Structure 1
Amino acid sequence: MTFQSPSRRCLFWVFLVFTLIWFSNLDYRNLVRPDEGRYAEIPREMSVTGDWKTPRLNGIKYFEKPALQYWATAAAYDLFGEHHWTARLWSALTGFIGVLFTFYAGSRLFGKEAGLYSALVLGSSLLYAMIGHIITLDMGVSFFMGAGLMAFLLAQQSSATPRENKVWMLVTWAALALSILSKGLIGGVLPGAVLVLYTLIQRDFALWKRLHLISGLLLFFAITAPWFIAVSLANPEFFHFFFIHEHFERFLTKVHNRFHPWYTFIPILLLGILPWLVMLFDSLAHAWKKTDADKNTFQPKRFLLIWAVFIFVFFSVSSSKLPSYILPIFPALALLIGERLTQIKSRTLFWQIIPIAVLAAAGLVLIPKVISFASDEVPVALYQNYITWLYPAAAIWLTGSLIGLYLSYQERVRGAIIALALSSLIAGQLALAGHNSLSPASSAYHLAQEIKPYLKPDVPFYSVNMYEQTLPFYIKRTVTLVEYQDEMAFGIEQEPDKWIPLISTFEEIWRKQPYALAIMKPETFNRLQADHLPMQVIAKDTRRIIVKTP
């Protein structure tokens, strides 16, 4: 099917609307435990202490991940202050730039129409758009892995000049180095494994002559080595914990209690790629076909397919699983889907959108069922408030799907794809913003506001048999852990003076304190109350109670 390239005016308006939607709600939502609290607090402590070498969580050494995102967020705090939007800025920016780079790479590889569609697919995919507005490390590593992937494709395309090949390969090496500084060795190991697989399958060993290995590796280590060396010299215990425990043991064992069945990522992918689910299967079915009669010509679609399949399988067999782990495959899938959308007929697109419209309609009907998720910790009233956001979200998604159906029936493919993409993005952002209705149960923001009058300089603040990840960010200070370690166990082992091992010891200290605060779960409060520990409740919700000395 022949398309006229999108005009600059069309691209400008799509870019403007997408940008406004993408950055519209970064500051609206309160931080959600645990990830948002953790990854907002570590940079805050980095900014306050001025120690940009050793990451700390709650004042305790925290070596689970490298420091790139911590640096970026701490810099945002220093420049603009500590806010929700500055805490989320790195995820939002890397996700946004990833969409722009996908447009550029798709345009260079498959044509401007494919570039536009690929960017729209990526930016509106449910999982990608969600993670781009949540504070985790996964968007950063996905962006740099995706940037490395796309730069590699640009370097290896048959039309690339020797100079273009070298420049884009250096961009590839730099991007992979930054992906390692974002989340660890997977940022380099997975792309390397994909390259080996592609080489073996395609028998394209000449490809290795175009990798600029010497200059690339020099650049790679110039970027990655300084921090790893500096943090290892300052903390000799870092090397074993980071490289052995956090990589090999995480992958091979259930040490992090994130074990799920091998098929866990299948439903996550099917939901996360919405609204492009049907298009995904169509594009995968055509991805292996050669685009050039010369068997020695680099095949970008085959490389993208191997990238997506290998990374998906890698994390599926891993013993540690979280939904966002498969995010690095989304730029590759978006390019494949975007390229395929330029090939299909309008009537084919019409039939592919029908299931999406049905899903949107079903979602609209089933919204009241959300209340069934209510519990003692998350009461019905909170879900009722959330429903008021879900209705317009589902209605917008359904409306966009119906507009897409109409436009595709009228053979206006581009308009149909834009309508489906933007309506899906708006719907997703509304649903995400509405999640703030549940924040009294998922965030410490409300508790922090209640206890502000009780926060005095240097007052002892104990966290008894728990750690509320979002609290330190809001009260702008750390707390003393009592009989609780969890992910801070290794750091506590290095600095055991920074916690209280037993609740009985805490009780002795508490009775001697002229003024102190403590946070605990209701069951811990009841236990201490039974021990006649003097406490005055100053704030509480369904999950936590904050007390002070009488």
Structure 2
Amino acid sequence: MRAILNARVLFWIGLVTFCVVWFYGLGARVLVPTDEGRYAEMAREMVATGNWITTRLNGIKYFEKPPLQVWMNALTFELFGLGEWQARLWTGLCGLFGVAAVAFTGKRLFGPSVGRNAALVLGSSVLWAMLGHINTLDMGLSAMMTLALCALLLAQRDDASATEQRNWMLWCWAGMALAVMSKGLIGIVLPGAVLFIYTFVARDWSIWKRLHIGAGLLVFFLITTPWFVLVSLDNPEFPHFFFIHEHLQRFTSKIHHRAGPLYYFLPILLLGMVPWLGVLVQGVLQGVRNVPGTFQPKKMLLVWAGFIFFFFSISSSKLPSYILPIFPALALLLACYLERVSQRVLLLNAALLTALGIAGLALLQRVPLLANTPFELPLYQAYLPCIAVAAAIAACGGAFAMLLTRRHTTAAIAVTAFAGFLAGQCLMLGHDPLGRYAAGYALVAAVKAELTPQTRMYAVQRYEQSLPFYLQRTTKLVAHADELEFGLQQQPELWIPELDDFVTQWRAEPGKAIAIIRPDVYLDLQQLGLPMRVIGADPRRVIVTNQLQP
């Protein structure tokens, strides 16, 4: 009895600690460009304008993605005000939802220990835990796709009643709809392709009779149709840009300049699965084996992870976060394996974590070599203590897990998970000095001191993604359309295409103006004798005003 009570106490201590660290991390860092600043600013502008249909960035129409995350960020700003944790709250909750979903699904399908281990694996996987603290779309997409996957698994299990099957399938359709509203058509294309492949791999032809397609499509279109119709009515240019440019051309061409080799995602997967590298291959191979019954859940998980990984690997557009939706499926597969893992394999997994920690400590002094300018050197040096702590946690946690492996397998798994999670969070927190530099945050106070309600702001041959949010001001772009090219084609009056035209307008400004300028361009403008007073500068930007006297 005392052992049971101790186990429960340790469980609740661990859960509370995990949640405290998770939520603390949401507000502990400045919003870093590009994604974090972009989606926070879009939500701020949505609240400021009251327009929840036409999404805008820097006051310009921005239709690259559907609005679910912007809506959620805007709602958070309405409720709690502007800030870092508010901007990350949706992604943080989505990350926790994924952990809870795999725990619940694993328990219902495979038993309590699998559910617990699935939560430990997913919550501690470096990529999942890190992206749960970054305001980017891929965590929201992954959470909604996890809803679709877990609901499908629960609906199709052999012992599901007719009512359970119908209700869970409707949740699956709702998950796909919300995934579409998060990031576009991949929210239904990827699960649909997985279903087709699973049908042939598992020879489960009858699954198509259990999908409740009619009611499911009704739920799907009730969720997705209203916004697509309303935004198309307000913006006739939207359908072609969104469906052709942002989907077909993004996948089949290098139009977004995000190409990479076929193996691009392999190192990301390996690093992202830390601290579970030692059981990754064995866990994935779980899905190959047949199990008694009509529905093959492990095959579904394997097809889900394998196809999505393959899909993005052959795509012409690649970013590290794209493969995030495969992590819940991998967590469930690995949790099934951990239920019967041998001491030798668990020992190897813990030893790998220890080795990674020792390697981090050994390479610590090489981190400052990553600095590209003298300005960055102290920023990397400031990062060293957190890297050292993260490496020490990994090394000590792995070593402790190795000691526990022989007699306390469950405790060894938990220690491995917490060591991996805490090490990853230390790395995130320590990055803040570099993030502040990337965002230009050190210059915010100086710019705010010069701002008046009538001050016009320009961004000259660069576009800042985070400063507009912190300054609560949009900027007029000059000679640099960046990702806003499509919106500027619709409203060309919102920017200045040529630098010479900016020079003319700057000289003729009737009131106070501020410009954020690329440093080399600032030197060119200085040679032209343009009236400018520097109010802030770093190697990435120079900020000036046209009023020569403070």
- Aligned equivalents of 1:169, 1:313: Cα separation in 2: 26
Aligned equivalent of 1:464: 460
- Aligned equivalents of 1:452, 1:377: Cα separation in 2: 27
- Aligned equivalents of 2:280, 2:6: Cα separation in 1: 23
Aligned equivalent of 2:199: 199
**Quick one: which amino acid aligns to residue 447 of structure 1?**
L
Is residue 62–residue 484 contact of structure 2 (8 Å, CA) maintained in 1? yes
- Aligned equivalents of 2:313, 2:175: Cα separation in 1: 25
CA offset digits 1:40-63 (Å, max 9, x no partner) = 100010011000001000000000
Quick check: 1:98 aligned with 2:98? Answer: yes
Aligned equivalent of 1:386: 383
Aligned equivalent of 1:511: 507
Equivalent residues in 2 for 1:469-484, closer than 5 Å: 469-484=465-480
Quick check: 1:521 aligned with 2:518? Answer: yes
CA offset digits 1:425-473 (Å, max 9, x no partner) = 1111111011002134211221111211101112111111110111100
Aligned equivalent of 2:445: 449
Deviation at 1:345, TM superposition (A): 2.3
- Aligned equivalents of 2:397, 2:84: Cα separation in 1: 30
Aligned equivalent of 2:52: 52
Quick check: 1:396 aligned with 2:393? Answer: yes
Aligned equivalent of 2:17: 17
Deviation at 1:396, TM superposition (A): 1.1
Is residue 465–residue 481 contact of structure 1 (8 Å, CA) maintained in 2? yes
- Aligned equivalents of 2:427, 2:398: Cα separation in 1: 17
Pick aligned residue for 2:418 from 418, 422, 425: 422
- Aligned equivalents of 2:94, 2:348: Cα separation in 1: 34
- Aligned equivalents of 1:483, 1:348: Cα separation in 2: 58
Stretches of structure 2 lacking an aligned partner (at least 5 in a row): none
- Aligned equivalents of 1:7, 1:298: Cα separation in 2: 34
Secondary structure of the residue aligned to 2:534 is strand
Q: Which moved more, 1:348-357 or 1:261-270?
A: 348-357
Is residue 374–residue 380 contact of structure 1 (8 Å, CA) maintained in 2? yes
- Aligned equivalents of 1:144, 1:286: Cα separation in 2: 25
Deviation at 1:287, TM superposition (A): 2.2
Secondary structure of the residue aligned to 1:263 is coil
Deviation at 1:10, TM superposition (A): 4.7
Deviation at 1:403, TM superposition (A): 1.1
Is residue 140–residue 182 contact of structure 2 (8 Å, CA) maintained in 1? yes
Pick aligned residue for 1:345 from 329, 334, 342: 342
The alpha-carbon distance between structure 1 residues 312 and 5, as it changes in their structure 2 partners (threshold 3 A), is farther
Identity in percent: 49
**Quick one: which amino acid aligns to residue 422 of structure 1?**
F
Is residue 353–residue 394 contact of structure 2 (8 Å, CA) maintained in 1? no
Is residue 21–residue 425 contact of structure 1 (8 Å, CA) maintained in 2? no
**Quick one: which amino acid aligns to residue 357 of structure 2?**
A
Is residue 105–residue 150 contact of structure 2 (8 Å, CA) maintained in 1? yes
Deviation at 1:378, TM superposition (A): 5.4
Aligned equivalent of 1:141: 141
The alpha-carbon distance between structure 1 residues 16 and 451, as it changes in their structure 2 partners (threshold 3 A), is same
- Using structure 1 for the length normalisation, give the TM-score: 0.97
Is residue 309–residue 326 contact of structure 2 (8 Å, CA) maintained in 1? yes
- Aligned equivalents of 1:6, 1:234: Cα separation in 2: 60
Deviation at 1:348, TM superposition (A): 2.8
Equivalent residues in 2 for 1:165-180, closer than 5 Å: 165-180=165-180
- Aligned equivalents of 2:375, 2:177: Cα separation in 1: 42
CA offset digits 1:40-91 (Å, max 9, x no partner) = 1000100110000010000000000000000000000000000000001111
- Aligned equivalents of 1:377, 1:145: Cα separation in 2: 44
Is residue 155–residue 169 contact of structure 1 (8 Å, CA) maintained in 2? yes
Is residue 454–residue 512 contact of structure 2 (8 Å, CA) maintained in 1? no
**Quick one: which amino acid aligns to residue 196 of structure 1?**
F
Pick aligned residue for 1:490 from 472, 483, 486: 486
- Aligned equivalents of 2:340, 2:454: Cα separation in 1: 65
Aligned equivalent of 2:534: 537
Aligned equivalent of 2:152: 152
- Aligned equivalents of 1:120, 1:461: Cα separation in 2: 48
Is residue 157–residue 300 contact of structure 1 (8 Å, CA) maintained in 2? yes
- Aligned equivalents of 2:10, 2:170: Cα separation in 1: 33
The alpha-carbon distance between structure 1 residues 439 and 204, as it changes in their structure 2 partners (threshold 3 A), is closer
- Aligned equivalents of 1:9, 1:171: Cα separation in 2: 34
Aligned equivalent of 2:281: 281
Is residue 26–residue 88 contact of structure 1 (8 Å, CA) maintained in 2? yes
Pick aligned residue for 1:502 from 483, 486, 498: 498
Aligned equivalent of 1:374: 371
Quick check: 1:307 aligned with 2:307? Answer: no
- Aligned equivalents of 2:262, 2:291: Cα separation in 1: 33
Is residue 378–residue 441 contact of structure 1 (8 Å, CA) maintained in 2? no
**Quick one: which amino acid aligns to residue 253 of structure 1?**
S
Aligned equivalent of 1:330: 327
Is residue 202–residue 299 contact of structure 2 (8 Å, CA) maintained in 1? no
Equivalent pairs counted in the alignment come to 543
Stretches of structure 1 lacking an aligned partner (at least 5 in a row): none
